[in-house]
């Protein structure tokens, strides 16, 4: 039996013209787990997330959500099915307040009480945002901005959260804090999280399982602690 929020990528191939970015990739992410997707620049990590959320289309293979094939579904339908994608880069609108930025995430037709409940949940998770709710987002630090874009994604009430390099540009201490909050969120709400990271060490420290991509292919897939303990793999692909 497949859980409603289990994400399965089967034999996925995605091309940009002559460039094969993903070449027969298989990845599975389960609810209540953080699944890390690791690999060097150009390995295909971002393309994997974009292929799942429908921003690019695989040429072969499929993406299943709870056993349902979403490979040909429109981007909005994939979002409505509960997939929220937080792309690389901040995406914060600095002229708007923290709360206005968060509310941009609740456009998917939730009821007022649902929206209130989700907003309260985000503030509970990220007290730094609650304190600054009426301030312009321009006043936030890099880590707080990352919390804001994750919080905004949570306002759509997702079941699957796709995070593209949330640690980029953050100090190690802030990464530890952010990832700790992410782990709490998954443990509390049972979300399915696919975490794309170049910071393999930090990602594996909070992930349950991991996949390593190299030149568009999965070269390793295992429990996070097994991957982290594999010296050869770490040196060859993970950079720590
Ligand atoms: P990074 O960590 O640098 O973001 P990545 O692992 O996310 O890398 P992708 O961005 O998915 O890798 O890129 C995979 C391959 O596809 C690379 O060879 C890249 O140059 C190529 N590629 C990505 N986007 C495009 C595009 N829009 N057009 C052509 N080629 C692309």
Reported confidence tier of residue 40, pLDDT bands at 50, 70, 90: very high
User: Where is average pLDDT lowest: 49-58, 107-116, 189-198, 230-239?
Assistant: 107-116
Q: How far is CA 141 from the centre of its chain?
A: 20
Q: Is 42 in the pocket of ligand 1 (CB under 6 A)?
A: yes
Residues of the chain with CATH 3.40.50.300: 1-82+159-240
Q: What angle do CA 36, 71, 73 make, to 5 degrees?
A: 120
Give the position of tokens 């530890």. Answer: 176
Q: Residue range 182-209: average pLDDT?
A: 96
Dist. CA 163–CA 143, nearest whole Å: 14
Q: Is 41 in the pocket of ligand 1 (CB under 6 A)?
A: yes
Q: Is 89 in the pocket of ligand 1 (CB under 6 A)?
A: no
Q: Whose CA is nearest to atom 9 of ligand 1?
A: 44
Reported confidence tier of residue 2, pLDDT bands at 50, 70, 90: low
Dist. CA 51–CA 29, nearest whole Å: 15
Reported confidence tier of residue 107, pLDDT bands at 50, 70, 90: low
Averaged pLDDT score across all residues of the chain: 94
Q: Residue range 30-49: average pLDDT?
A: 96
Cβ-in-10-Å burial (0-12, 13-18, 19+) of 89 comes to exposed
Q: Whose CA is nearest to atom 21 of ligand 1?
A: 21
Rg of the chain, C-alpha, whole Å: 17
Dist. CA 129–CA 56, nearest whole Å: 32
Q: Whose CA is closest to 159, among 137, 133, 192?
A: 192
Give the position of tokens 């982290």. Answer: 228
How many whole angstroms from 219 Cα to the centroid of ligand 1? 17
How many CA atoms lie within 13 Å of 126's alpha carbon, on the beta-carbon side?
A: 27
Q: How far is CA 240 from the centre of its chain?
A: 22
Dist. CA 230–CA 13, nearest whole Å: 27
- 141-194 pLDDT, tens digit each: 998 999 999 999 999 899 999 999 999 989 999 999 999 999 999 999 999 999
- 130-144 pLDDT, tens digit each: 999 999 999 999 989
Alpha carbon dihedral 6, 68, 52, 209, in 10-degree steps, equals: 20
- In CATH terms, the fold of domain 1-82+159-240 is Rossmann fold (3.40.50)
Q: Is 47 in the pocket of ligand 1 (CB under 6 A)?
A: yes
Give the per-residue pLDDT at 90: 66
Q: Which atom of ligand 1 is nearest to the CA of 56?
A: 27
Give the per-residue pLDDT at 3: 78
- 41-92 pLDDT, tens digit each: 999 999 999 999 999 999 999 999 999 999 999 999 999 999 999 998 768 9
């Amino acid at each position: 039996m497949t859980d409603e929020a289990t994400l399965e990528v089967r034999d996925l191939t995605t091309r940009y013209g002559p460039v094969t970015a993903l070449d027969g990739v298989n990845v599975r992410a389960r609810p209540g787990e953080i699944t890390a997707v690791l690999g060097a620049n150009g390995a295909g990590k971002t393309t994997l997330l974009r292929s799942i959320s429908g921003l690019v289309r695989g040429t072969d293979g499929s993406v299943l959500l709870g056993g349902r094939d979403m490979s040909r579904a429109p981007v909005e339908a994939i979002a409505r099915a509960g997939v929220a994608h937080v792309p690389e880069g901040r995406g914060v609108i600095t002229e708007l307040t923290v709360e206005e930025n968060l509310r941009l995430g609740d456009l998917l037709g939730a009821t007022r009480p649902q929206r209130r409940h989700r907003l309260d949940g985000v503030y509970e998770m990220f007290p730094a945002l609650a304190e600054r709710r009426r301030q312009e987002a321009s006043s936030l630090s890099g880590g707080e901005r990352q919390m804001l874009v994750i919080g905004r994604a949570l306002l759509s009430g997702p079941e699957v959260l796709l995070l593209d390099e949330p640690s980029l540009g953050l100090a190690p201490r802030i990464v530890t804090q952010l990832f700790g909050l992410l782990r709490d969120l998954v443990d509390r709400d049972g979300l399915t999280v696919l975490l794309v990271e170049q910071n393999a060490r930090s990602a594996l420290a909070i992930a349950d399982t991991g996949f390593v991509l190299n030149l568009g292919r999965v070269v390793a897939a295992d429990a996070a602690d097994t991957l982290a303990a594999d010296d050869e793999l770490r040196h060859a692909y993970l950079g720590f």
